[in-house]
Amino acid sequence: MELRARVSQALKQAMKDKAADRLSTLRLINAAIKDRDIAVRAEGNDDGVGEDDVLAILGKMSKQRTESARAYEEGGRLDLADRERDEIKVIEEFLPRQLSEEEQTEAVDAAIAEIGADSIRDMGKVMALLKGKYTGQMDFGAVGPMVKNRLS
């Protein structure tokens, strides 16, 4: 089932269940997707955002909440940190399974071999291939240095 449809279905179910916190998070997800849709349509793409874009939006939302939770913990606001973690759980229901360290290493090695990368100048090509194949499954902020080390 398409991600948008899954989010809409979960939103309707949360309304029926009267799960206020879950409903709030699902509405935020829906709003972010629609906001990106509007931006893409303004650029001339009448189809709106695709699955990869929705995955990227969800990944970004998850990462933002992780950073916020960390900041709240440092500030001693554990109640707000818990709320952010609850939102992360809802968002991650729609994300594919995250790759383990070992799987990420294998994916990086396979991408380098597929492109035939041999210098740091090929890093962009490798990252583009990884983003195309593994959107939402790995943290590209952590994978970037791994690729750089392999190509150095």
Tens of pLDDT, residue by residue over 16-50, are 999 999 999 999 999 999 999 898 888 877 777 88
Q: Where in the chain is the domain with CATH 1.10.10.410?
A: 101-151
Measured CA to CA, the distance from residue 126 to residue 114 in angstroms comes to: 9
CATH fold, domain 101-151, is: Arc Repressor Mutant, subunit A (1.10.10)
Q: What is the pLDDT of residues 70-117, one digit of tens each?
A: 999 999 999 999 999 999 999 989 888 888 888 888 888 888 888 887
Superfamily designation of domain 3-92 = Uncharacterised protein YqeY/AIM41, N-terminal domain (1.10.1510.10)
Note the pTM of the prediction, 2 decimals.
0.74
Q: Where in the chain is the domain with CATH 1.10.1510.10?
A: 3-92
